[in-house]
Structure 1
Amino acid sequence: MNSVSAALAALMDAVSGMSGQFGEGVASHLTSTAGLQREHVETRYQGQMIDFDTLQWRVLNDSVCANQRQNAMAHTRCSQAASEMFASTCQEMTANPPTLPSQRYHSTRRMACHAAVSYQPSIGNIQWAESSGADQLAEAECNAATAALLGSSDLDAIQYQRRVCGGR
């Protein structure tokens, strides 16, 4: 089963109340409340665990991948996968509706399509900062000037520190 089909199966599972990628309790509770209560959903898409909350058949954008906010790189991967999942699920549900679509099917399709348009993934890039020798020398000079000021009220030392630190 490809990732689009898996995401569609997971959403349709929630809609139909059958067990599958959502936990049985989550799926049946989501369908029983008809989207009127805040619900937490966890699913897997392209090997990535994605979690989000829904309310009134809308994905709450600030809740997407909330379980991974403490790790910037994991949150980035999760939010990008979530964005792809919403878009592919919307496309799949729009292109291949069931013969007799239910109201829940329409609500789920609208929810996925709205999320596909409104959700903006978090994009983080963490790397080592490049610092030049000149930057290190300037920082060392500022530190030395600041240390020289400790316990001193010499006007020349204060002006020198301000000049070499440049507002740092």
Structure 2
Amino acid sequence: MDPISALFAALLDSTSSAVSNHIQESVGTEVKTVVVDHTDQLISYQHQMWRIRGDSVCADKRQRIDEFSKCTLAAKEHFVNACQYLQENKKYGVRYDQLKNMYCSASNSFRPTIASIASSSKASPLELAKRKCNRLTFDKTASAESRNQACARYRALKSEEP
């Protein structure tokens, strides 16, 4: 390839890459990952085509329900705050409008997971008798006599309840 053709090909390639990158960025076709520190809570999420992907919000914490719950609650608050900020601090431009629409849409549609883990209260004698009866009923090695005694105790306690 002669030097002029090579130069022209390089120029064409760099121009087309710049145009392609600009189009990709303005349309938002590429999946982008964002990590935000909101009230000492790290929130991760992805967006594509200027829409926050709900299933990606706090996905890194999904295995630990208590952390996931706190993270999704903080994410909801972050989306609401970002929407309010962008509405109050108006600017002009396509990217501003896309960003504002993305966060305002997420502030309306994102539903956080609300969960808490706590110790269960102490089981009542009736509940304990029911568990024992059920356990022995499904235990193939338990004797019929022990199963009958446990279930008879459960029925007796149940009949005493008001």
The two structures share one fold, judged by TM-score above 0.5 = yes
- Which structure dedicates a bigger proportion of its chain to helix? 2
**Do the aligned partners of 2:33 and 2:45 also contact (CA within 8 Å) in 1?**
yes
Partner residue in 2 for 1:127: 118
Q: Pick the structure with greater CA Rg.
A: 2
The one-letter amino acid paired with 2:94 is Q
Does residue 83 of the first structure (1) align with residue 76 of the second (2)? yes
2: CA distance between counterparts of 1:120 and 1:151?
Answer: 47
How far has the Cα of 1:138 moved from its partner?
A: 2.1
How far has the Cα of 1:157 moved from its partner?
A: 9.4
Q: TM-score, normalised by structure 2?
A: 0.69
Identity, % of aligned positions: 25
SS of match in other structure, 1:41 = strand
2: CA distance between counterparts of 1:151 and 1:127?
Answer: 33
Which structure 1 residue ranges, 5 or more long, are not aligned?
A: 1-28
**Do the aligned partners of 1:145 and 1:157 also contact (CA within 8 Å) in 2?**
no
Q: Per-residue CA shift, 1:111-168, capped at 9, x if unaligned?
A: 0000000100011111122222221122223334544x5388x8x999x59x7799xx
2: CA distance between counterparts of 1:157 and 1:45?
Answer: 57
**Do the aligned partners of 1:40 and 1:52 also contact (CA within 8 Å) in 2?**
yes
Q: Which has the higher contact order (CA 8 A, sep 6+)?
A: 1
How far has the Cα of 1:83 moved from its partner?
A: 0.2
Q: Which one of 47, 50, 63 corresponds to residue 57 of structure 1?
A: 50
1: CA distance between counterparts of 2:77 and 2:142?
Answer: 59
Which structure 2 residue ranges, 5 or more long, are not aligned?
A: 1-20, 156-162
